[in-house]
Amino acid sequence: MIGKFELNEFIMKILELIDLTLIGNLVLIVAFAGYENSISRIDVLDKNDENVSWREHLDLSGLKLKVIGSVIAISIIELLQDFLNISSIDPNVEFWRIVLHLTFVVTGVTFALMEMLTEKKHTMKSEEKLAKLEEEQFKDL
């Protein structure tokens, strides 16, 4: 029994560290992407540096997906911590935490679907413009 209790405490501490790391990453993503998209370009490093290539490709819709993904990960870690301490949880509180987590998941899936539809729409418009340009060029021949 003592070994199992110590193992649960160890797992709880690891989950807390993962949770803090995810929260820290979330803050950094929002700070850098918000600055990059709203205020100014960050030109500290050379353009050939691959370590910061994500900044050039992260727009506001991508930022929303990263934020909701981080929130879902933080939520599931909290649920895991609760299930490791199953003897001390209130079933009513845990029910609402699960409902909240499922709400986050549905929101994330909805954002992802909206992003896919928007991307597809932009791709179709670009292809239509390209086809019109090609038609105009061939008319002149």
How far apart, in whole angstroms, are the C-alpha atoms of residue 83 and residue 78? 9
pLDDT, mean of residues 51-67:
67
Inform me whether the pLDDT recorded for 10 exceeds 90.
no
Q: Write down the domain spans for the chain.
A: 2-140
The alpha carbon of 121 is separated from its chain's Cα centroid by a whole number of angstroms, namely 22
Query: Sorting pLDDT into bands at 50, 70 and 90, what band is 9?
Result: confident
Report pLDDT for 3.
Answer: 57
Query: Sorting pLDDT into bands at 50, 70 and 90, what band is 4?
Result: low
pLDDT, mean of residues 126-137:
76
How far apart, in whole angstroms, are the C-alpha atoms of residue 14 and residue 90? 23
| pTM, to two decimals | 0.62
Query: Sorting pLDDT into bands at 50, 70 and 90, what band is 1?
Result: very low
